[in-house]
Structure 1
Amino acid sequence: MSSAHTLLRRAGLGSALAAATVLTAAGVASAHVTVHPDSYAKGATDGALTFRVPDESDTASTTKVQLFLPTDHPLLGVLVSPHDGWTAKVTDTKLKTPVKTDDGTITDAVSEITWTGGKIGPGQYEDFDVAFGQLPDDTAQLSFKTLQTYSDGKIVRWIEEAASGDDEPENPAPVLKLTAADTTSVTTSKEASKTPAATTKASASDSTARGLGVAGLVVGVLGLAAGAFAVVRNRRTQ
């Protein structure tokens, strides 16, 4: 649990730093509920998602946020980070198709998270952090339909999904793209594991060469000394 909270705090910090730039550039009027990061590797484990909810009203505050998680391609091991002023209610659902993992078969998963009790003022935004144990690996994207309730009773439904090639709908649901798993780190790791052996062999070769070189020099010096001694001796006998 502590490692998940540490990860969430890091994710929240990064999101907070990026939020000002994003909302300033796009303008609050054109903002909508989004998920950050917007992509993850298929089957990724022990990660976190940040759902950013902007208040687009000029007069009303956001008082309730309902996030619906997909159950046809469920997120496993979902945890919700505590959020000052807000109370999170987590709803589990029995899966139509259980998910088999290395730790056993999963029959239930989180299908909805509802935050209440807090307030997002006009022109402001709030980040809600959710950690997961594992993402699905059998789909290209995940859609998180969201309902945003305002203090004046208005409900904005961020539930629309654009078909491939279509323009973004008026009230799009946050979408997380799932990419192919990154094998670069695995390849690099394998190459790195070979490096010490290769380095050891190279070092051994270098050491042998240096040893032979030194031995050759010693023999040469001794030979010169012996020759010089013989010349001097011959001169004395003459």
Structure 2
Amino acid sequence: MFHAMKKHGTARRLALLTAATTGAVLLTTGPAAAHVEVEADNAQALAENVKLTFVAESESADAGITELRVVLPKGIASADVAYDKGPEGWKFTARDDGYVIKGPAVKAGEDAEHSVVVKQLPDAKELAFKTLQTYSDGRIDRWIELAEPSGDGHGNEAPVLELKAAAPGAKPASPSPSETQPASPSPTPTETEPESSPAAQAEAKEDDGGLSTGAWIGIGAAVLIVAGGAAYAVRRRAGAQQ
């Protein structure tokens, strides 16, 4: 009987050990937990001068993070984002669809954190910031998937910032002067051109049958000379007949 109880206890311990081992294997083979997170000091729609802080968790024990490319959501222009701080030596560059921050690799296994200041958050319920995370060995983690309405994720979801409703009376900030100032009107052309201009001379030439004013004066003088000569000849002939 003693041997039977001992055997039963051993089997029970083996069963517990097997279950624990299986659970550990399942946990280690599941999807990676690392991702990018975003938070704000004032996560509210239409809030102004809001600081956003991003934390990119490392998924590599051998390579450090060297670059983060963030695609801004609709309603936030890259011109309205100012760099605050980030890893030592990293530089900020604005792009048409967002911005890039990069520099010397952070220590392998360590997270990369940076922050930016947004002029104004849009009037929305949530904002997704698609992010590409690059490592010193060339590896790229693409945190760009959007969560399904059912709540099911894809494992590479983009960081999302949930916003509170806008404060009463809050309005979109006025556009910058450069956006509202109308373009300088083009100079108004003069209604008439100076008579001395080539165009005026050409126009006068066309109106006078293709001859210039000087030509017409010469013709007039020639006509007068011919007429005068004819009159003189007529008078002389009349005198000779008398």
> Normalising by structure 2, what TM-score?
0.51
Residue 37 (structure 1) shift: 3.3
The structure with the greater share of residues assigned to strand is 1
Corresponding residue of 1:85: 89
- In structure 1, C-alpha distance between the alignment counterparts of 2:94 and 2:166, rounded to whole Å: 29
CA RMSD between the two structures: 2.0
Are residue 57 (structure 1) and residue 60 (structure 2) matched? yes
Q: Give the partner amino acid of 1:44.
A: A
- In structure 1, C-alpha distance between the alignment counterparts of 2:153 and 2:131, rounded to whole Å: 16
Instruction: State the identity %.
Output: 39
Corresponding residue of 2:147: 162
**Is residue 86–residue 118 contact of structure 1 (8 Å, CA) maintained in 2?**
yes
Give the SS at the match of 1:179: coil
Q: What pairs with 1:179-218 in structure 2 (closer than 5 Å)?
A: 179-182=164-167
**Structure 2: tracts of 5 or more residues without a match:** 1-31, 169-242
Q: Give the partner amino acid of 2:90.
A: W
Q: What pairs with 1:116-127 in structure 2 (closer than 5 Å)?
A: 116-127=102-113
Are residue 146 (structure 1) and residue 144 (structure 2) matched? no
Q: Cα deviation per residue 1:85-128 (whole Å; 9 max; x = unaligned)?
A: 1011112x3xxxxxxxxxxxxxxxxx321112222223211211
**Is residue 90–residue 113 contact of structure 1 (8 Å, CA) maintained in 2?**
yes
**Is residue 65–residue 116 contact of structure 1 (8 Å, CA) maintained in 2?**
yes
Give the SS at the match of 2:147: coil
Corresponding residue of 2:51: 48
Corresponding residue of 2:117: 131
**Is residue 64–residue 109 contact of structure 2 (8 Å, CA) maintained in 1?**
no
Structure with the larger RCO, 1 or 2 (CA within 8 Å, 6+ apart): 1
Residue 82 (structure 1) shift: 4.1
- In structure 1, C-alpha distance between the alignment counterparts of 2:109 and 2:61, rounded to whole Å: 7
Larger Rg: 1 or 2? 2
**Is residue 86–residue 116 contact of structure 1 (8 Å, CA) maintained in 2?**
yes
- In structure 2, C-alpha distance between the alignment counterparts of 1:154 and 1:65, rounded to whole Å: 12
Give the SS at the match of 1:41: coil
- In structure 1, C-alpha distance between the alignment counterparts of 2:118 and 2:93, rounded to whole Å: 16
